[in-house]
């Protein structure tokens, strides 16, 4: 429940949670350890975004179990259309490490399926593993829309695990928009 298991044969592809998609492999991917813990950190970032009046999306970049960067959506505050949580987390991590690519093994936890812009960046940054929570059929670019990682032009494809703490990640967004409706 709430966890998308990815088998070795699915490298670079994403899987939906097995509860909703019985066809998903039963064996968890070995790297799956600690998925919910990482997503809880990303959720805390998303909550901070909501408190600041931003669309609640949060991201955490980790390497070897250590947090390299954490960020949340800041489009409103910065008046910057590219200030998405994923982009800010990747930029922070690269600046901190002083390198243009993320090191092998870097994992990004993000509460919402990345948009096409962020998916393109994650490929450019050579992210090893993307773990996301809620699906975004309207604006997502990983498992919906352009499916950026599936393109032959996408030379680096992060492994994708989707649907981790999906309900909590989606509820934050639903509540945020419900509260703004007149
Ligand atoms: Zn984005």
Residue 6 in tokens: 């990815």
For residue 27, report the distance from its CA to the centre of ligand 1, in Å: 30
pLDDT-above-90 percentage for the chain: 77
User: DSSP label at 35?
Assistant: H
pLDDT in tens, 25-64: 333 344 455 899 999 999 999 999 999 999 999 999 999 8
pTM: 0.82
| Predicted local confidence at residue 70, as pLDDT | 97
Strand partners, 130: 108, 160
- The one catalytic residue in 86, 91, 166, 168 is 86
71 versus 17: the higher-pLDDT residue is 71
CA distance 111 to 106: 17
By the 8 A CB rule, do 58 and 174 touch? no
Strand partners, 61: 69, 108
pLDDT in tens, 136-146: 999 999 999 99
Question: Which among 4, 58, 57 has a CA at the least distance from the CA of 31?
Answer: 4
Residue 139 in tokens: 């604006």
User: DSSP label at 10?
Assistant: G
The answer to whether 86 is a known catalytic residue is yes
CA distance 129 to 85: 16
For residue 32, report the distance from its CA to the centre of ligand 1, in Å: 23
pLDDT in tens, 75-91: 999 999 999 999 999 99
Residue 120 in tokens: 């393109």
CA distance 23 to 34: 23
Judged against a pLDDT cut of 60, whether residue 147 lies above it is answered with: yes
- Give mean pLDDT, residues 146-175: 95
pLDDT in tens, 94-140: 999 999 999 999 999 999 999 999 999 999 999 999 999 999 999 99
For residue 182, report the distance from its CA to the centre of ligand 1, in Å: 26
User: DSSP label at 39?
Assistant: H
For residue 86, report the distance from its CA to the centre of ligand 1, in Å: 6
| Predicted local confidence at residue 34, as pLDDT | 84
By the 8 A CB rule, do 88 and 75 touch? no
Judged against a pLDDT cut of 60, whether residue 174 lies above it is answered with: yes
CA distance 120 to 142: 9
């Amino acid at each position: 429940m709430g966890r998308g298991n990815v088998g070795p044969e699915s490298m670079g592809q994403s899987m939906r949670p097995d509860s909703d998609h019985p066809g998903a492999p039963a064996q968890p991917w070995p790297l799956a350890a600690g998925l919910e813990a990482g997503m809880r950190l990303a959720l805390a970032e998303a909550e901070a975004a909501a408190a600041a009046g931003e669309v609640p999306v949060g991201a955490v970049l980790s390497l070897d179990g250590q947090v390299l960067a954490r960020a949340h959506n800041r489009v409103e505050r910065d008046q910057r259309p590219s200030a998405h949580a994923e982009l800010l987390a990747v930029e922070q991590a690269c600046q901190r490490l002083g390198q243009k690519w993320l090191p092998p093994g870097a994992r990004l936890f993000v509460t919402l399926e990345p948009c096409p812009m962020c998916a393109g960046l994650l490929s450019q940054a050579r992210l090893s593993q993307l773990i996301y929570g809620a699906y975004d059929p309207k604006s997502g670019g990983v498992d919906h829309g352009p499916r950026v990682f599936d393109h032959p032009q996408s030379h680096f494809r992060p492994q994708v695990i989707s649907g981790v703490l999906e309900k909590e990640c989606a509820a934050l967004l639903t509540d945020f928009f419900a509260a703004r409706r007149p």
